[in-house]
Structure 1
Amino acid sequence: MSKTEDPQRNTLSEKAVHIGAGFVAKERPHVMAELSTLGPHLGRWDPSGVRVEVSVQNRGAKEQRVTLRTTLPGLNPVVAVADDMDLTRALNDAKRELIRQLEHQKSMREPMHNRRLRDKTIRHPSGTVQAEGTQRLS
């Protein structure tokens, strides 16, 4: 079973999410439900090294600020922030920003470590590069 097919890697662990300032204990199920879609995006890292801290500033004010601070093995902390009057909307906006940053990190790193992706170019889309002066027989 590959990493992408492993159902445990596609779920966000209860231990990985830490509810910080601004939230009360009874809001944990709601926060976990909103962040559940992060599971597939965080699944490529070892679950024991993944940590997501959620906090809210200016709770109940006109512009609440939700911060998601994510610590992943081998990467600098990734921080996503969103402001909105509606707490759920701010939480979802911060989650989308975090996913965008994680996908950016993935695209920056993946081609460097995958020889097949690195060899494919516009000139040689199949990934087979011929030595100069040789002819390909078809």
Structure 2
Amino acid sequence: MTDASAEEQDVVAERLRFGTGFAESERQRIIERLAGLGRRLLSYPGDAVELRLSVKDRDTPQQRVTLECVLPGTEPLVAHSYEQDLPAALAEVRDELIHHLDRLKTRRDPRRDHPHRP
């Protein structure tokens, strides 16, 4: 494990809260799956960000994994997955939330208001 990935895991670990369907015994494995979010969350104060992970109908064909990110000054960002394989579902909600965070940053970036110069 590199220092960057350890730092990213720490950021996720500090902010992650479990909703229904997950046990604390799964925490480390889930943090490893979601660690890619850490880099994007580093720019926000730690006490201002909350990640909430839940699963409904676990281990059934109707399984639904939800990852919600609460940031200051914005509506909550929500990612869902209907993948039956839990590791695949965690990867899908991670990637969808990364996409939401990237779009939010792009919208907030003042440089985007300037016309592109060739």
**TM-score band w.r.t. shorter chain:** 0.7 to 0.9
| Structure 2 CA distance for aligned equivalents of residues 97 and 89 of structure 1 | 12
| Structure 2 CA distance for aligned equivalents of residues 14 and 95 of structure 1 | 14
Structure 2 match to 1:105: 104
| Structure 2 CA distance for aligned equivalents of residues 118 and 76 of structure 1 | 22
The equivalences for 1:1-138 within 5 A come to 11-111=10-110, 114=111, 118-119=113-114, 121-122=115-116, 125=117
| Structure 2 CA distance for aligned equivalents of residues 10 and 45 of structure 1 | 15
Q: Please tell me the root mean square deviation across aligned C-alpha atoms, in Å.
A: 2.3
Q: Which has the higher helix share?
A: 2
Q: How many corresponding residue pairs?
A: 114
| Structure 1 CA distance for aligned equivalents of residues 25 and 48 of structure 2 | 26
| Structure 1 CA distance for aligned equivalents of residues 67 and 31 of structure 2 | 13
* Structure 2 unmatched runs, 5+: 1-5
TM-score (norm 2): 0.84
Structure 1 match to 2:3: none
Q: Percent identity?
A: 31
TM-score (norm 1): 0.73
Residue 16 of structure 1 deviates from its aligned partner by 0.8
Tell me: higher relative CO, structure 1 or 2? Use CA pairs within 8 A at least 6 residues apart: 2
* Structure 1 unmatched runs, 5+: 1-6, 127-138
Judged with a 3 Å threshold, the aligned counterparts in structure 2 of structure 1 residues 43 and 92 are, in CA distance, closer, same or farther, namely same
Residue 8 of structure 1 deviates from its aligned partner by 5.8
- Report if the CA contact (8 A) 1:46-1:73 is conserved: no
